[in-house]
Amino acid sequence: MQKKRITNILSLTKLTSTERTIADKVLENQRITQEEGIYLFYNSSLHFLGLLANYIRENLNGKDVYFNKNIHIEPTNICIYNCKFCSYKRRFGDTDAWDHRIEDILEMVKKYEGKDITEIHITGGVHPHYNLLNHCTVIKKIKDILPKVHIKAFTAVEIDYMCKKAMMSIEDGIDKLKECGLDSLPGGGAEIFNPEIRQQISLDKSDARLWLRIHKIAHSKGLKSNATILYGHIEKYEDRIDHISQIRELQDETGGFNAFIPLKFRNANNKLSHIPELSVTEDMRNYAITRIFLDNIKHIKAYWVMLGRSFAQMSLSYGVDDLDGTIDNSTKIYTMAGSEEQKPTMTSQEMVDLIKSAGLTPVERDSLYNTIKIYK
Ligand code: V47
Ligand code: SF4
């Protein structure tokens, strides 16, 4: 939306003086403060937030909405941690635990030989038996089968554990993973950085400092990564702003984050099932404020598998410019946590139609946001 048009609309909208200041900052491409971010959460309407977020999205990405062709591999759901929000983790011996052998993983990958997927996203439980070298073997063998595929793998929490298990420093571990074919890091494991809330929902999992340090090291070694927040459980608005503020600071230092992904807490089959899920209005307000606050990350991703297709489409009016991938029914994290997407797969045509019917331009991208195809 052009500056003049939004200025006209804002002049007809009743705003508080703080909202006026925030709107002026956005129109002048200036950064808003943490206090202003918190103010927006407590006070501002979806309409006002949507106007600003959409303006920023259009300035950064025009009408383009990105997606890629990818699959997820979840090698195991056996995990040493006990995150209360997790519907996926299992213990040894549980009937629905899985721990795929390397041969089975490679069989899965072989099915995509000659197909046009560009990315494999690998993440799973933190299995107590596997060290960094085991994971290296997996990615190396995947690259033998699909040499051109981009491997985005292992959350900072997984990297922390696999390095400890191999008695390697994070620096050496990331060097080794890179040498074996790792191309970037996904954004998971960030959850919420506030130490008290994190301790309550994720118990003894790697803390915020370590999560940030691992991403910083990855960036220093030329690997890009994503960042996430898990919102809508027991955290306060202040915690969300504190979290994205720490991401914003690291991005100022390294410029290594490609995308930020707000992940809405889903409440099926976990220890926080008593907490009601947020309304769609709250989700859209969260996307919009994230877009307004995070002025130095170009892409805000709505993970459609978690949100559902209709709401993912709606998020495109509230600051989102990326819908992740076509996925080919290859993830269970969200189906087990209650997402309505019980068979998460979208053909590229469905993805294209979904974006076009929102009045926007679908762009197939690679994992580093280079354009592969524009669907006019
Ligand atoms: O860290 C687990 C979240 C994350 C639940 O980088 C839950 O491109 C909501 O990070 N309700 C893993 N969220 C997934 C992830 C991800 C997904 C897609 C793309 C990318 C990327 C990263 O899933 C975990 C946790 O925050 N999660 N359980 C739940 N019940
Ligand atoms: Fe394990 Fe990840 Fe589930 Fe936490 S969220 S219990 S680290 S699989």
DSSP string, 95-113: TT--B--HHHHHHHHHTTT
Task: For residues 117 and 27, state if they share a domain.
Answer: no
CB 32 within 8 A of CB 22: yes
pLDDT tens for each residue of 270-288: 999 999 999 999 999 999 9
With residue 44 as reference, give the H or E element that holds it.
Answer: none
Binding site membership of 333 for ligand 2 (Cβ less than 6 Å): no
Judge if 38 and 173 occupy the same domain.
no
Please list the pLDDT of the chain residue by residue as tens digits (376 residues).
688 999 999 999 999 999 999 999 999 999 999 999 999 999 999 999 999 999 999 999 999 999 999 999 999 999 999 999 999 999 999 999 999 999 999 999 999 999 999 999 999 999 999 999 999 999 999 999 999 999 999 999 999 999 999 999 999 999 999 999 999 999 999 999 999 999 999 988 999 999 999 999 999 999 999 999 999 999 999 999 999 999 999 999 999 999 999 999 999 999 999 999 999 999 999 999 999 999 999 999 999 998 999 999 999 999 999 999 998 876 777 788 877 777 778 889 999 999 999 999 999 999 999 999 999 8
> Final residue of a domain: which of 17, 35, 57?
57
Choose among 71, 111, 139: nearest CA to 324: 71
Tokens of 178: 């890179």
CA of 189 to the centre of ligand 2 (A): 8
87: domain CATH number? 3.20.20.70
- Same domain (yes/no): 362, 294: yes
Please say which residue of 57, 84, 101 terminates a domain.
57
Q: How far is the CA of 188 from the centre of ligand 1 (A)?
A: 5
Proportion of the chain above pLDDT 90, given as a percent:
91
The candidate with the shortest Cα–Cα distance to 365, out of 189, 217, 152, is 152
What integer pLDDT is reported at residue 331 of this predicted model?
75
**Contact, 117 vs 149, CB < 8 A?**
yes
- The predicted-structure confidence for 216-261, as pLDDT tens digits, reads as follows 999 999 999 999 999 999 999 999 999 999 999 999 999 999 999 9
Q: Are residues 286 and 317 in the same domain?
A: yes
> Same domain, yes or no, for 216 and 265?
yes
Question: Does residue 51 sit in the same domain as residue 176?
Answer: no
- Total number of domains in the chain: 2
Q: Are residues 140 and 16 in the same domain?
A: no
Q: Is residue 166 located within the same domain as residue 268?
A: yes
What pLDDT shows up at residue 57? Answer: 97
* Closest ligand 1 atom to Cα of 338: 30
Give CA–CA dist 281/329, Å, rounded: 28
Q: What are phi and psi of 262, to 5 degrees?
A: -75, 130
Is the distance from CB of 266 to CB of 87 less than 8 angstroms? Answer: yes
Ligand nearest to the CA of 263: 1
Residues 117 and 237 in one domain: yes
Sheet holding 64-68, edge to edge: 322-325, 64-68, 361-365, 371-374
d(CA 246, CA 125): 25
Q: Among 127, 157, 333, which is best to mutate for testing ligand 2, by the most ligand atoms less than 8 A from CB? A: 157
- In this structure, are strands 150-153 and 119-122 parallel, antiparallel, or unpaired? parallel
Say if residues 98 and 91 touch (Cβ distance below 8 Å).
no
Which helix (H) or strand (E) segment is 133 a member of? Answer: helix 132-145
* Mutation probe of ligand 2 site: the residue of 77, 87, 99, 126 with most atoms within 8 A of C-beta: 126
Ligand nearest to the CA of 211: 1
User: What residues does ligand 1 touch, defined as CB less than 6 Å away?
Assistant: 85-87, 186-189, 191, 226, 228, 230, 261, 263, 265-266, 270, 303, 324, 333, 337
Q: What is the C-alpha separation between 213 and 259, in angstroms, rounded?
A: 18
DSSP code of 306?
Answer: H
Q: Which residue type, as a one-letter code, is found at position 312?
A: A
Question: Which residue from 331, 307, 333 is spatially nearest to 320, judged by alpha carbons?
Answer: 307
Q: Are residues 35 and 77 in the same domain?
A: no
Q: What is the pLDDT of residues 79-96, one digit of tens each?
A: 999 999 999 999 999 999
- Could you report how far apart the first and last alpha carbons of the chain are, in Å? 19
Is the same domain home to 234 and 299?
A: yes
Which domain-ending residue is among 57, 78, 96?
Answer: 57
- What is the spatial distance between Cα 87 and Cα 157, in angstroms, rounded to a whole number? 17
Bridge partners, 68 (sequence order): 325
| 243 contacts 204 by C-beta, under 8 angstroms | no
CA Rg value for the chain: 20
Choose one of 81, 158, 211, 332 to mutate for the ligand 2 pocket test, by most ligand atoms within 8 angstroms of C-beta. 81
Are 302 and 219 members of one domain?
yes
State the Cα–Cα distance between residues 142 and 134, nearest whole angstrom.
13
pLDDT for the residue numbered 1: 62
Full-model pTM:
0.97
Main-chain phi, psi angles of 278, to 5 degrees: -70, 155
Task: Round to whole Å and give the CA distance between 286 and 122.
Answer: 27
Number of H helices, E strands in the chain: 15, 11
- Residue range of the domain that includes 199: 65-374
Name the nearest CA neighbour of 59 among 38, 28, 102, 34.
28
Task: Decide: helix, strand or coil at residue 153.
Answer: strand
Ligand 1: centre distance to CA 53 (Å): 23
